[in-house]
């Protein structure tokens, strides 16, 4: 190949690379900025191992008040915890200068519903605050309870249909799991991971339910 031919060959490769990069940039620009997903929970095997290590104890709700778990706190910029999760879990979410979601869509993995208004979505504490209190958080400091209530690192917070979240309330997996059976493994793996990380106990009915549900994960 002559020097001139090599020059034009390199030129074509340079132009092709530039076009490829441009196409990639356009694809990236048009991609959704978030996805409806928790931080990935531990595997089923790891969750079963964690569950075996959790203390089994009777729950005690004496003294519980939701205000003992301060929510929501600033996570980034002007975004508080709720707004941060709405942006993480939504698709094509736009926000105003105060980080309030003004448009977007949210898929609720608990019931399979999709919502186009943030007002139809609650941020669920996968392990409810009252449940945490019952199983060890009553002994924590306010700072520790605040960290738990606003934990965006563990699989503890997610956007779901508001009335489904309200129906769940403070129930544990012995009495409530998502109606979407395809989400069950994710839910119980996340539940055990959070309880293990925060050194929270389980009651006997809760452990039996988790043992049963994790067997298929």
Same domain membership, residue 66 and residue 3: no
Same domain membership, residue 108 and residue 23: no
Same domain membership, residue 185 and residue 97: yes
Phi-psi region of 110 (alpha: psi -120 to 50; beta: other; left: phi over 0): alpha
Residues of the chain with confidence (pLDDT) below 50: 1-35
Count of domains observed in the chain:
2
Same domain membership, residue 95 and residue 6: no
Report CA Rg, the chain: 23
The per-residue pLDDT for 47 is 98
Same domain membership, residue 116 and residue 15: no
Burial annotation 58-74 (CB, 10 A radius, 16+ → b, else e): ebeeeebeeebbebbee
DSSP lists the bridge partners of residue 106 as: 90, 115
Same domain membership, residue 69 and residue 120: yes
Domain housing 196? 33-214
Question: What is the Cα–Cα distance from 135 to 133, expressed in whole angstroms?
Answer: 5
What pLDDT, in 10s, does the model give residues 178-209?
999 999 999 999 999 999 999 999 999 999 99
Between strands 79-80 and 74-76, the pairing is: antiparallel
Same domain membership, residue 37 and residue 24: no
Same domain membership, residue 109 and residue 7: no
Same domain membership, residue 169 and residue 138: yes
Same domain membership, residue 19 and residue 91: no
Same domain membership, residue 10 and residue 47: no
The per-residue pLDDT for 9 is 38
Same domain membership, residue 61 and residue 154: yes
Question: What is the Cα–Cα distance from 75 to 80, expressed in whole angstroms?
Answer: 5
């Amino acid at each position: 190949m002559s020097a001139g031919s090599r020059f034009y060959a390199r030129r074509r490769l340079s132009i092709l690379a530039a076009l490829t990069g441009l196409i990639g940039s356009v694809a990236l620009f048009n991609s959704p900025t978030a996805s409806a997903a928790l931080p990935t929970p531990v595997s089923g095997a790891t969750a079963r191992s964690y569950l075996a290590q959790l203390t089994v104890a009777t729950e005690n709700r004496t003294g519980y008040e939701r205000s003992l778990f301060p929510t929501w706190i600033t996570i980034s910029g002007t975004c508080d915890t709720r707004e941060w999760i709405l942006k993480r879990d939504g698709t094509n979410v736009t926000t105003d200068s105060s980080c309030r979601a003004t448009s977007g869509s949210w898929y609720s993995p608990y019931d399979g519903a999709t919502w186009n208004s943030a007002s139809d979505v609650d941020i669920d504490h996968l392990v409810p605050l009252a449940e945490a209190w019952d199983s060890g958080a009553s002994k924590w400091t306010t700072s520790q309870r605040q960290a738990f209530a606003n934990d965006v690192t563990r699989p503890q917070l997610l956007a779901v249909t508001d009335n489904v979240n309200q129906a769940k309330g403070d129930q544990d997996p012995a009495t409530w799991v998502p109606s979407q059976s395809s989400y069950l493994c994710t839910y119980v793996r996340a539940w055990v991971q959070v309880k293990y990380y925060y050194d929270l106990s389980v009651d006997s009915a809760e452990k039996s339910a988790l043992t049963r549900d994790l067997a298929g994960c």
